[in-house]
Structure 1
Amino acid sequence: MRSGKRSLTTATLFLACACACVVLATPGAAYASPTPKPTATGSPAPAPAPKGSPTPAPTGTATPKPVSTKELEAVREKLDTLYHDAAVATDAYNAAEEKARKQSAEIVDLARKIAKGQANLDKLKDRAGAAARAQYRGGGLPPEARLWLSEDPQRFLDGTGRVRAGEHATKGLLDEMTRTQQDLRQYEKDASARWKKLESNREEKAEAQKKITKKIAAAEQLESRLETKEKERLAKLEEEAAQEAQSVWLGSGVLADIKAKASASGRKAVAYATDQIGKPYVWGAEGPGSFDCSGLTSQAWAAAGHPIPRTSQEQWHRLRHVAVEDMRPGDLVIYFDDASHVGMYIGDGSIVHAPRPGRNVTITGAGSMQILGVVRPDA
């Protein structure tokens, strides 16, 4: 056992020495340097790069792939859809806001009527109470007994006439009290109905606001994925699409037929609208610092002395329609099948409008979007 163990140890030492000799004899081999000290993160420090060599790209980052024109065009169309849907929701929001204002004013008016009617009823009750007390004090004996006991029959008869007149007055007083009470009940019923409508409109506003926020957030997220140069290319694509649509519209010869001049009110409306150029689009805004599309047109015509409906859809439904070839500066051009956008014609085939979120009030071609029709506020 001992001789065997000694033989194994000897053989092991011999083999280790032989391996060491082979390693030392290998050409180009060098002694291992001491183990490098760990960096702050625990990993060995990288070897310095030779002078003049390019700095290597960080591990795990890839050069972004350029966005093709076709892809950008798809982004533009998607943005158009999102902002169009946001515009529809904005019109619904504005309509609910306008109804809420009207109903709030009606409720305030009804509250005044209720307060006035209640005060009147209180006075009528006081008068009725006084009449009842007077009748009680003088009504202890029947008329025949009062006549027999009276020292002056004529005075009694005169008093009887006054009593009858008082009875008629009391009846009229009671009738007026009844009418006043009926009016109060009706006012309260109307106020309750308007409160319900007001709450319904508030719910519609809240729902529209959710849709607006959702659509705009989706559009902004889509745009945020683009690099700066790609955003510039996207803006150029939008401009080219608008110019192409405008060229087609002008090519129809429609501008040659548009010769009407602005009315005095129209000139004021145009002056107001063009003074807002450069201010940002904000949905639901009516100025003075920002506008949405119908906020701009409604405020422009209010400044001209002709209040018009607040929303583009109501402007389309309630204002007088005129043919495109008959339009004049100040008229409103309504766009898309759902009347979700509006601009003001300013002449020479152009409109001033508040385009969409992320854009400012600007001038563009009247034919740069799908025209639904034209309306005239001061017809």
Structure 2
Amino acid sequence: MGTHRRPKPPSRTRIATLGVAAGAVSLLPAQSQAAPKPSVDEVRKQVEKLYEEAEAPTEEYNAIREKQQKLQREVDGARDRLARKQQEINELREQTGPLAAEQYRTGGIDPSVQLFLSSDPDEYLGKAEALGRTGHRQAAALQALESRQRELAQERADAAQRLTALEEARARAEAKKDEVQSKLTEARKLLNSLTAEQRARMAAAQQRADAAAGTSDAPTSYTGPASGRARTAIEFAYAQLGKPYEWGATGPGSYDCSGLVGAAWRSAGVSLPRTVQQMYDAGRKVARSDMQPGDIIYWYNSSQHNGMYVGNGKAIHAPRTGKNIEIVPVDTMPFFAASRP
């Protein structure tokens, strides 16, 4: 049986070396976490991306809100109908009360027996005829009462369904609202991470880019060739130049993209659907080469962003959070399609 040898304890030099190594390792995570702050240009690009990503849920929110408002009107109408039918039922019940009392006074005796027992057959026959008419009225009143009660039960069921749909729409709208606000909050955090000097540099760079692209949000008057309703719509849009973009807004102090287009055409007596996608689906499509002032332009795709063509290769639109209603070249963003209200 061999002897068990105890391991030799490490020397002081080795312990010191291990300690230094361990200290070096422990410093590595802290060093790797100290990531460099994004540059001004990187922040600008990230913010632009977040604002762009917020547009799709904004339009979804608009569609849900429109449905929610329709459901609210239906629920209000159902409540009014329920109140009217309940009043009708109350009145019918009051009418059937005296009829039932008259029937009770006859005792429910067989008519032939009543005639036999009557001391004055002629008087009885007159009463019987009157009672017959009373019975017919009672039967009709009871039928009307039963009919109204059935209608009331159906109205209550319909109202309950509408109310459930309304609550579901409210919940979906809140979820979309949270999604939009989450992206806007993230964008604000990125902007707040910049110093005042960096923010000033970024704003100056944006102004130079807008100037180079021919972008303008300075109030001006429309002098283009549009006429009739299209001119009225464009003149309304021009009067909004410089007002801020606000998601979900339809004026008068601020607008989102479809909110501006809808308000402009509404001023000309034309009612358009609420969202970019609905406007695209409802409008008559026109080729880019056939566009006329007042036509609706869609950028990126059929549901993300729109504005109005004003002629001379330019459009007016409500761009995004942090910017104002402006006039831009049509090619500022990827052109997708155009439609005519």
Give structure 1 stretches of 5+ with no counterpart: 1-63, 245-259
Check if 1:118 corresponds to 2:86: yes
**Distance in 1 separating the partners of 2:130 and 2:278:** 62
Check if 1:204 corresponds to 2:176: no
**Distance in 1 separating the partners of 2:58 and 2:315:** 21
Among 354, 365, 377, the alignment partner of 2:329 is: 365
Among 268, 283, 289, the alignment partner of 1:304 is: 268
Which residue number corresponds to residue 181 of structure 1?
149
Which residue number corresponds to residue 9 of structure 2?
none
**One-letter identity of the residue aligned with 1:181:** Q
**Distance in 1 separating the partners of 2:37 and 2:157:** 66
**One-letter identity of the residue aligned with 2:329:** G
**One-letter identity of the residue aligned with 2:145:** M
Q: Where do residues 1-379 of structure 1 align in structure 2 (5 Å cutoff)?
A: 72=41, 74-150=42-118, 153-224=121-192, 225=194, 226-237=198-209, 240=212, 262=226, 264-377=228-341
**Distance in 1 separating the partners of 2:242 and 2:148:** 56
TM-score, normalised relative to structure 2: 0.77
Deviation at 1:218, TM superposition (A): 2.3
**One-letter identity of the residue aligned with 2:258:** S
Is the Cα contact below 8 Å between 2:75 and 2:162 reproduced in 1?
yes
Which residue number corresponds to residue 46 of structure 1?
none
Deviation at 1:118, TM superposition (A): 0.4
Which residue number corresponds to residue 23 of structure 2?
none
Is the Cα contact below 8 Å between 1:339 and 1:372 reproduced in 2?
no
- Counterpart of 1:97 in 2: which secondary structure? helix
Deviation at 1:278, TM superposition (A): 0.8
Is the Cα contact below 8 Å between 2:234 and 2:310 reproduced in 1?
yes
Deviation at 1:148, TM superposition (A): 3.2
Is the Cα contact below 8 Å between 2:276 and 2:302 reproduced in 1?
no
Is the Cα contact below 8 Å between 2:51 and 2:184 reproduced in 1?
yes
CA-atom RMSD in angstroms: 2.8
**Distance in 1 separating the partners of 2:155 and 2:336:** 43
Deviation at 1:117, TM superposition (A): 0.5
Deviation at 1:296, TM superposition (A): 1.0
**Distance in 1 separating the partners of 2:339 and 2:135:** 63
Deviation at 1:274, TM superposition (A): 1.0
Do the aligned partners of residues 168 and 331 (structure 1) sit closer, same or farther apart at CA in structure 2, a change above 3 Å counting? farther
What is the number of residues matched between the two proteins? Answer: 294
**Distance in 1 separating the partners of 2:124 and 2:72:** 58
Cα distance per residue 1:206-230 (max 9 Å; x no partner): 2112221121222233344234123
Do the aligned partners of residues 315 and 147 (structure 1) sit closer, same or farther apart at CA in structure 2, a change above 3 Å counting? same
Is the Cα contact below 8 Å between 1:100 and 1:198 reproduced in 2?
yes
Is the Cα contact below 8 Å between 2:302 and 2:337 reproduced in 1?
no
Deviation at 1:190, TM superposition (A): 1.7
**Distance in 2 separating the partners of 1:366 and 1:168:** 77
- Counterpart of 1:280 in 2: which secondary structure? coil
**Distance in 1 separating the partners of 2:87 and 2:286:** 52
Deviation at 1:78, TM superposition (A): 3.0
Cα distance per residue 1:115-136 (max 9 Å; x no partner): 0000001111111222111111
Do the aligned partners of residues 165 and 335 (structure 1) sit closer, same or farther apart at CA in structure 2, a change above 3 Å counting? farther
Deviation at 1:358, TM superposition (A): 0.9
Is the Cα contact below 8 Å between 1:243 and 1:368 reproduced in 2?
no
**Distance in 2 separating the partners of 1:115 and 1:128:** 20
Which residue number corresponds to residue 32 of structure 2?
none
Cα distance per residue 1:266-286 (max 9 Å; x no partner): 222111111111111111111
**One-letter identity of the residue aligned with 1:218:** E
**The structure with more radius of gyration:** 1
Give structure 2 stretches of 5+ with no counterpart: 1-35, 216-223
- Counterpart of 1:367 in 2: which secondary structure? helix
Is the Cα contact below 8 Å between 1:261 and 1:328 reproduced in 2?
no
**One-letter identity of the residue aligned with 1:104:** Q
Is the Cα contact below 8 Å between 1:223 and 1:231 reproduced in 2?
no
**One-letter identity of the residue aligned with 1:228:** A
**Distance in 2 separating the partners of 1:329 and 1:222:** 38
Q: Does 177-186 or 224-233 show the bigger shift?
A: 224-233
Cα distance per residue 1:324-343 (max 9 Å; x no partner): 33332222112222521110
Is the Cα contact below 8 Å between 1:266 and 1:329 reproduced in 2?
yes
- Counterpart of 2:322 in 1: which secondary structure? coil
